[in-house]
Amino acid sequence: MRKKIIKYEEIKLKIFELIIQTSYELPFDIYSSIKDNIKKEESSLGKLVLQKLLQNADIAKCEKMPICQDTGIAVFFVEIGENVEIEGGFIKDAIFEATKEAYEKGYLRKSMVNDPIFDRTNTRTNLPPIIHFDIIKGDKIKIRFTAKGGGAENMSRLKMLNPLDGEDKITKFVIDTIQKAGGNPCPPVIIGIGVGGDFEESAILAKKALFRKIGERNKNIKYAELEEKIKEKVNKTGIGPAALGGRITCLDLFIEYFPCHIASLPVAINLNCNAARHGEIEI
């Protein structure tokens, strides 16, 4: 089969545009969910918080400015078709260049430091991004991007449960995590849960789960039911919008799963704040 030629500069431009749009415009499903939940929120203060979130999103989109001052670490999931040939450079370089340019020209705060312990000097470019590559069938490149802010990311957790712990222990782990997080991840949050695989795969699954649209349930009916069950319990914690009390602590909750070792049950929880900046393109 003939290779499909995709130019390096086209990839770079589309990634640049993806970062800018994602940083300025709240995804439609997130915006609609916040709007719908104003009616469901029982706390008057909670209602006010949700209304302010919509106003903030409207201003950011209209004025072409970041939704949140924490414009995050740039995270990419890249699927490259086996019949794709990139002309003019390497896709990793295109991602690095696009990220640097977008954070500079888009007036996005640069938050990356050179070394986690010994040299926490800002790189001043928001580089390097975190990139997960996968090879797929076909002649397309699919790129998913998320800007992960520190508040929600810092409240994420991973735990190696016992193989027979089951859904009750997973549910308790999620509730405990949300209660300990309080207002740090800027609720209402979106919760991604990765179950299975191994230590690192469960965390990747949890982050991937956050790309699902609000209301999009797992195709496995048992996991779909568990998503609804845990979401309901999270919204009974009373944390509410901005942790000021109320019913709407979580806009949605998604679970992704993977086969695992007979002696293991890894469970990872990755949180997104209400400014759940994510988007995707296909080239």
Return d(Cα 57, Cα 67) in angstroms, integer. Answer: 6
Closest to 17 (Cα-Cα) out of 106, 77, 79, 81: 106
> Is 35 inside any structural domain?
no
- For residue 3, the model assigns a pLDDT of 87
Ranges of the chain whose pLDDT falls below 50: none
How far apart are alpha carbons 56 and 53 in whole angstroms?
5
Query: What span, in angstroms and rounded, lies between the C-alpha atoms of 177 and 39?
Result: 27
16 and 92 inside one domain: yes
Residues in the chain: 283
Q: Which residue has the tokens 């545009």?
A: 17
How many Cβ atoms from other residues are within 10 Å of residue 54's Cβ? Answer: 14
Q: In 203-220, which positions are buried (b, 16+ CB within 10 angstroms) versus exposed (e)?
A: bbbbbbbbbbebeeebee
Helix (H) or strand (E) run with residue 22 in it: helix 8-24
Cα–Cα nearest to 12, from 83, 67, 76: 76
| Last residue in a domain, options 148, 181, 201 | 148
Query: In sequence order, what are the beta bridge partners of 281?
Result: 143
136, 163: one domain: no
Compute the distance between CA of residue 160 and CA of residue 264 in angstroms, rounded to an integer: 7
Distance CA 67, CA 26 (A): 7
pLDDT score recorded for residue 56: 97
Residues 169 and 255 in one domain: yes
CATH number of domain containing 224 = 3.30.1330
Domain of residue 202 covers: 150-276
My answer on whether 94 and 11 are in the same domain is: yes
Give the model's pLDDT for residue 2: 81
Does some domain include residue 61? Answer: no
What pLDDT was estimated at residue 211? Answer: 98
Q: Could you tell me if residue 222 is inside a domain?
A: yes
Strands 73-81 and 130-136 come out as parallel
Q: Do 254 and 194 share a domain, yes or no?
A: yes
Check if the beta carbon of residue 180 is closer than 8 Å to that of residue 261. no
In the chain, how many domains are there? Answer: 2
Distance CA 46, CA 162 (A): 38
35 burial via Cβ count (<10 Å: 0-12, 13-18, 19+) = middle
